[in-house]
Structure formats: structure tokens, C-alpha cells
Amino acid sequence: MKTLHLIFLIFLFSGKGFSQPPIPETEWKHYSSENGDLEVPNGSEQQTSCAVFDIDKDGINDFIVTERVQAPAVVWYKKNGEKWDRYILDTGLLRIEAGSAVWDIDNDGDLDPVFGGESRSSEVWWWENPYPNYSPEIPWKRHTVKKSGATKHHDQLFGDFDGDGLMELAFWNQNANTLFLAEIPKNPRENEEWEMIPIYSYANDSEMQPPGEMPDWKRVNEHEGLAKADIDGDGIPDIIGGGRWFKKTGDKKFQENIVDASYSFSRSAAAQLIEGGRPEIVLVVGDGIAPMFLYEWQNGTWKRKTLITEIDNGHSIEIIDFNGDGHLDIFNAEMRFSEQHNPDAKLRILLGDGKGNFTDYIINEGFSHHEAKIADLDGDGDYDILSKPYAFRAPGIDIWLQNGTNKK
């Protein structure tokens, strides 16, 4: 475990005047599986998903890490003093893709995770949280949301997207070229496949030129990324993903609305980053090299502004108020694939002022971040960071606990 003083560079991005958001005076304690602070998940070199939530209802967030080439496929970690104890969640070898979602699926008072299969799997799974009976070696019971059809399910999201007061699960099925919406069954433990409807489909025949360099394994016009926000202010959350947002318009019908058709292969986030008007949308490249864009709705047009001209595999993005100034900020982290590739890979927060200006606050460089999360990991009320590599220096986990002026 190491204590790291703040590393920061300041670049001000402004489209509406010049102002200076506050820079937090922050120290970070770094914990790593390389130092023995955590046990590695397994021997895998392809760590895929990551989810953070309070598994055992003790008031402190736990976290899950998955992989797709070795068993156990799913493990979870519970904080224990200055270390984290590792528990096996699933002993099997599962082809799990990136992305995750969490909800109390069986309505028993605890939270249950969802992960989807990758290009060799036609399944989406959920696991029944066994609260309060946990054991380091006894796996949870696994159920299926989907077990047939096309493969690859990169990204899942829970929300009441049809306004009926019940939660639905939205998920991409990339090799079906489809965004699905699935209703949680009344008896989810007994249903092997949930009722689901396709709410958007796309073709692989052609696409607009993407705004950067995409990986050679990406299919033509492949879509990914999911977020939610009430874009049009009707009180019902809308789905954001694939460079679009989707609004319910009728019984089992959703309308596609274009944000940026050239940026379908991107990570998505949305919130009120600029005061007034509709929520803003942020798109960034998850795999590849391309800009980070902010989209502001103005009279029916999504006006695009470049926040950072080049992000290298920025697979992690969230919107939070990091410094507690009442203005939302953007968390983003980049990947590495080798010693030579992206050696200064950045984990950063763009501190916002509510007017469209951002200060680039860089927390660290040189790590490999895939599906990194920003959340309170030690129960002290401030934001900490959980990260893992996808492949470079995998298996492994890194945690940065915040111990500065933002502690509450």
C-alpha cells in the first residue's frame, strides 16, 4: 500500500467564457494485488466486467470482478481493515463480456448482479444474492435472462424506461444488431428466459466515418454503450447508447433519436453538466483512439464540443460531483495493452463548473484501466477508485482510497 500525493495537470476547456473550478487538495492511498493488499481474482489474462455495490448490506460497497477464459469466472471482494477478502461468486468458466447491471431482481431486499456473455455466448445471466449466508468458497445460484439467439452482449442497464413503475433491463446484443428491453418476470428464479422486445435494430451494411481510429476487430456500424437520463423532461428515463437516445412512444415501441450517428461505437454518459435545458450527453471511445465529446441540446440540434482531442481506449466513464461544489464532473480512464502502448495512460476527472467549462484533473498515469469505477469503497463518504486491467498486467486489481480535504 502506498500513499500517493495528487498528480494533476490543468487544461481549461471553455465554450462559454473563462472560469476556474476549484482543484481538490487530495491524497490517495494506493492498494494493489501486486502488493498483496488483495488476492488476484484468478489466473486470467482477460478480465472483463466490474460492478460496485453493497452486496452484504453492511453500509460499505463491495465489488465484483469477472473474466472470460478461466475459472472461477466471478469473484467478489469485501473490505476487511486495510485489505479485502475474496469470495467466489461462480466457480464455472463463463464467457463474460464487459458491462454489468445491478438490481433487486427477486425482490428479497438485497441486490443481484447481471452480466452478459461475449462473442462465444448467447446468454445473459443474473446471480441470486444469498444474503446473509456468504462463504468464501460457496458459489451463488446462477439464473438466465437470455439463453438463445445471437451472441455478444456488451453493456446492460436497469431502469423504468416505459413508465409503468417497474424496472426493465436494457441490453445490447451486438451480433443480433439489436438493443433489447426485458421485463423482470414475476418469478425470476423460475424463468429461464425473460420476455424481451427489440426496441432498436441496425445494419452492418455501412456506417458514417467514425471520429477516430477504431480497432480492426470492430464490426461495421457496431453499437455499444448505455446510460440513462430523462432527456426530454417527461418524467420517464430515456436510454442513451450507440450515439442515440431512445424514448418510449407507445406500447412496446421506442423512438430512435440521433445524437451522433458517427459515434455508435462509444461509451455513454448523460447528466445536467450545463445548468438549464436538457441533460448533456458525453460520448468517448471505449476501444480505439478518438476524442471525448460533450453534446448540448439547442433547439433540436445536439451541438458537439470537444472536451479532449484524443482518448486512448477510454473504456471507463461516469458522471459524479467529485469535489462537492454542486456541479457535475466527468470521470474517465484509459487502457494499456503493453509496456509500449499508451505508457502514460491517464485516469482523470474533468471538473465542471456547470457552464460547460472543465479542468482536467489527472489522478495517475501509466496504469491500465478497464471498466474502472468511482465510488465510496471504504464508507467514509467520499469518492474512491476501483480499477483493473483488461489484459496488460492481468490478473490484478488496483484501488485508490481518497484521504484529503473532500473526506466527509
Question: Of 306, 279, 303, whose CA–CA distance to 290 is shortest?
Answer: 306
pLDDT tens across 318-351, in order? 999 999 999 999 999 999 999 999 999 999 999 9
Say if residue 266's pLDDT is above 80.
yes
Q: What is the DSSP letter of 263?
A: G
pLDDT tens across 230-244, in order? 999 999 999 999 999
Q: Tell me, what's the pLDDT at 315? A: 98
pLDDT > 70 fraction of the chain, expressed in percent and rounded:
93
Question: Of 102, 31, 26, whose CA–CA distance to 382 is shortest?
Answer: 26
281: cell is 450527453
Helix count and strand count (H, E) for the chain: 0, 30
CA distance 32 to 388: 10
CA distance 74 to 42: 9
What is the reported pTM? 0.94
Classify 34 in phi/psi space as left (phi over 0), alpha (psi -120 to 50) or beta.
alpha
106: cell is 427477486
How many C-beta neighbours within 10 Å does residue 135 have? 9
pLDDT tens across 149-208, in order? 999 999 999 999 999 999 999 999 999 999 999 999 999 999 999 999 999 999 999 999
Q: Tell me, what's the pLDDT at 137? A: 86
Phi then psi dihedrals of residue 33, to 5 deg: -65, -25
Mean pLDDT, the chain, integer? 93
* Residue ranges in 228-369 assigned as alpha helix (H): none
**Percentage helix, strand, coil, to 5, in the chain?**
0, 45, 55
R_g over Cα of the chain: 20
Q: Tell me, what's the pLDDT at 329? A: 98
pLDDT interval class at 44 (50, 70, 90): confident
Q: Tell me, what's the pLDDT at 1? A: 54
Q: Tell me, what's the pLDDT at 13? A: 44
Q: Tell me, what's the pLDDT at 205? A: 97
If you count them, how many residues does the chain have?
408
Supply angle C-alpha 161, 164, 168, rounded to 5: 45
Q: Tell me, what's the pLDDT at 298? A: 96
pLDDT tens across 357-407, in order? 999 999 999 999 999 999 999 999 999 999 999 999 999 999 999 984 444
- Domains of the chain, by residue range, sit at 26-44+334-407, 46-201, 207-312
